[in-house]
Structure 1
Amino acid sequence: MSTGKIVSLLAQADIGVYAVSLDQRIVFWNRGAERILGYTAEQVVGRHCYEVVGGVTPGGLTPACQEGCPSLRALQAGSVPRAVEMQLLSISGERKTVPLTTMVVSGAIRDMPIIVHLFESGDWAADRDRAATEVRHELTGSGVDIFSDRAGAAAPVAATDTLTPRELEVLRLVSLSRTTDEIATELGISAHTVRNHVRHFRRKLGAATKLEAVLTALRQGVLDWN
């Protein structure tokens, strides 16, 4: 399933939902998120999540995701990201305490993973688990792979020492759904060279597809935007 279709499913959710790309830029923001925090999609899409919602744990000072996504760190440790209580910054400047559930989902081969956040507040918070379960069933029933539900062993030694700097650059851009031509233009190299780098990092990561390579790299902690 394409990322676009995943977004269409999330748009129908009754609770607050926002999704970020692997470099933590907001790619989707539904009406529920607008109702709870006050920001419109136009105000937040394209910005880093920690610059907008600045989620902190109760009593905390630094946004939990400022040093990298906690959900991705959980995957690298071999665990399933758990629901947590967070204080999110609303447009009024008030911090709202919400239960937050995260999922790392992957779509079709050409669409890279996104990190989905589900939350609710106030009198609606009691319905969050039910609504989150409904969203999960809707996604899986439509063929969406919730990658973060599959806990595994802690990540093996990262392949960073075997991937060249250029291969890492190409891998990062692939993980953000850039096309071969877009990567070639951004890096100032030929499309043929891009395809060679893709072939090399797939082999080194033991991956049959680009999507599999990205998911493996997430497990190993190879992809890092900090």
Structure 2
Amino acid sequence: MNGSLDEAWHTMVRALLSDDGWDHAVASWRRLRQPYELALCLYHGARALLASGDRTGATARLKEAAQLVENLRAAPLARQISGLLRPRPARDGLTEREHEVLRLITEGLSNRQVAARLHISPSTAGVHVSHILTKLGAATRTEAAAIAIRKGLVGSCHDGR
């Protein structure tokens, strides 16, 4: 089983790095009967499908993932899945302040550092980060930064935007 588990993790990491190969990763975790990892791969696979315009395929994967995380009581992943199941606004849906916070996140700043730069409390910065993650369908700050750069919502750290 160790070899299968290692292969499943490697498959998942390759899919994360390339945003491709999610069906293979899903199959690996399904064979191993690991519901959380399966739900995570279904979620990421659905995000890739949404990016390619396949809302129907994405919805099927998200519904399966939602059922898995409900049974596991995995609230953070459930919120991410729920965010993708809701209809998306035409644009990225971020407020001007959220764009400012997102730009600082892409620079690698913590909530405390963001708060200091914007003269807000760390808890307010945290709320902005939470809203950004939901609106971008990201599970982590790093993923939100990658999405923002890929979609051109912010410049890279070196281009002065």
Shorter-chain TM-score range:
0.3 to 0.5
For normalisation by structure 2, the TM-score amounts to 0.42
For normalisation by structure 1, the TM-score amounts to 0.31
Write 1 or 2 for the structure with the bigger share of helix: 2
Q: Between the two structures, name the one with larger relative contact order (CA 8 Å, sep ≥ 6).
A: 1
